[in-house]
Structures are given as structure tokens and as C-alpha cells.
Amino acid sequence: MTEGCGAISRRDVLKTSAAGAAIAGSLGPGGMAMAQAGANAPPHMPVRMEVNGKPVSLDLDTRTTLLDALREHLKFTGTKKGCDHGQCGACTVIVNGRRINSCLTLAVMHEGDTVTTIEGLGTPDNLHPMQAAFVAHDGYQCGYCTPGQICSAVSVLEEIRAGIPSHVTQDIGKAPAMTTTEMRERMSGNICRCGAYSNIAEAMADVAGVKAEGVKA
């Protein structure tokens, strides 16, 4: 091979090949594959948060959603994976007092946050008032969407009490009224394929202490 500025000689090529073979040999059987896998491994980060009143510490792939962290790593399987696109509301949980779709947010974004899932609201022996109302008013059928519906319903009543307006609030300069219309508008992001919407509205009105106007078909 012609020698010159930037040229590579046959001797250089042979030296490089020999060095590569020596490195591969030193790694042993499967060593190169392991080294390559390590080089391509996704980054991990430690995440600490409070879930259902208890501190947890995880080491997670940075691509892990909050939903998958709760279900797959912490085994809080009450939170459901429905559409995985933020369109059905089945994955709704309460973070720092506000409801969110846990499929749309990364777990690493919630360092230090307080997370409440359906398991943290109540137990079979000590139901949350909203859980008890769903039972009393048949606010579920297949039950798949129910955990998200209940978490969202609890947060909706808090939103109205906090004076946060919605698209149907008549005067955003005033606190919204605790009405079925307000509740139904705010719950529109939680889909029930079984169609138990009227029963859900009745359960919410029961907990809110108001009359469920116009919820029957």
C-alpha cells in the first residue's frame, strides 16, 4: 500500500487485527457479546417516591412509565393499562393531590412525589367513601376501568372544592358549583366501555352530598 500522509499500511492493518483478536481472547467465550450488550444498555436512574403512604426506592430504565413502575416493579396492579396512549383513563392515579394518566409520564419525573393508587384509597375492610358509593350505585360492570374512574372521581370533587373551573363552568370568576354537569364534564376523560356513566354520576353525587340531576337516560 502506498505510504503517505493519512495512508494506512498493510502492517498497520495487521497490528490492529492482532490487537482486536487479543482483546476478544482475553474476554473469553461470550465476552464480546457481553461487552457489546453493556455498551448498548439503556441508562438507569434511581427514583424515590412515596406510594400509598410508604417510601419506595427503585432503579429504573429511564424510559419506564409511571404506570409500568407501579404495575411491574411495585406490583400495584389495581392501576390498569388500557390504551397506553392517555385516551381511556384506566391508568389514572393521584400524584401530589392531582389526577394524571400514569401511562403518559415517566417514573423518573416523579422523584420525591406522593402517589396514590386505588390500593391506597381504601381496602375491602375499610373502603374509601367513593369506593363504597360505587358499590352502592353499581358504578361498575366489568370493573376494568373502575380503579381509574374512582381515582379520577375523588380528584374531581377536590378540583371543584378548590374552585378550579372546567369547560362548563358558567362564570370562571366564581367558584364552580358542585353539580352533576360539572362532574360529568370533568370525568369525560375516563371511558367506560360498559356504559355505567349514570351510575358513576350517582355515586359521585352521593359522596358530594348533592342531588344527581339528569343522570338517568
Range of the domain at 31: 10-40
Q: Are residues 29 and 75 in the same domain?
A: no
- Same domain membership, residue 49 and residue 69: yes
Query: Does 172 share its domain with 202?
Result: yes
Domain end: 121, 146, 171, which one?
Answer: 121
Rounded to the nearest integer, the mean pLDDT of the chain is 88
Residue 67 and residue 157 share a domain: no
Banded model confidence at residue 21, pLDDT cuts 50, 70, 90: low
Does residue 68 sit within a domain? Answer: yes
Do 117 and 153 belong together in one domain? no
pLDDT tens digit sequence for 85-114: 999 999 999 999 999 999 999 999 999 999
| Residue that the C-alpha cell 390504551 belongs to | 83
Is residue 196 domain-resident? Answer: yes
Q: Is residue 5 part of a domain?
A: no
Q: Kindly list the strands in the beta sheet with 54-61, ordered across the sheet, starting from the edge strand earlier in the chain.
A: 54-61, 44-51, 114-116, 92-95, 98-101
Q: What is the pLDDT of residues 23-51, one digit of tens each?
A: 556 666 666 665 565 667 789 999 999 99
**Is 128 found in the same domain as 83?**
no
> How many angstroms separate the CA atoms of 37 and 25, rounded?
17
Q: Is residue 4 part of a domain?
A: no
Please check whether residues 36 and 15 belong to one and the same domain: yes
Q: Establish if 91 belongs to a structural domain.
A: yes
Residue 28 within a domain: yes
Long-range contacts of 163-169 (CB under 8 A, 24+ apart): none
Could you tell me if 84 and 114 lie in one domain? yes
Where does 62-209 show beta strands of DSSP type E?
A: 92-95, 98-101, 114-116
Distance (Å, whole) CA 55 – CA 193:
35
Q: Read off the C-alpha cell for 5.
A: 500522509
* Domain count across the chain: 3
Burial of 146 (0-12, 13-18, 19+ CB in 10 A): buried
d(CA 162, CA 18): 72
Q: Are 171 and 115 in the same domain?
A: no
Q: What is the CATH number of the domain that holds 116?
A: 3.10.20.30
Question: Phi and psi dihedrals of 43, rounded to 5?
Answer: -70, 145
Report which DSSP code applies to 210.
Answer: S
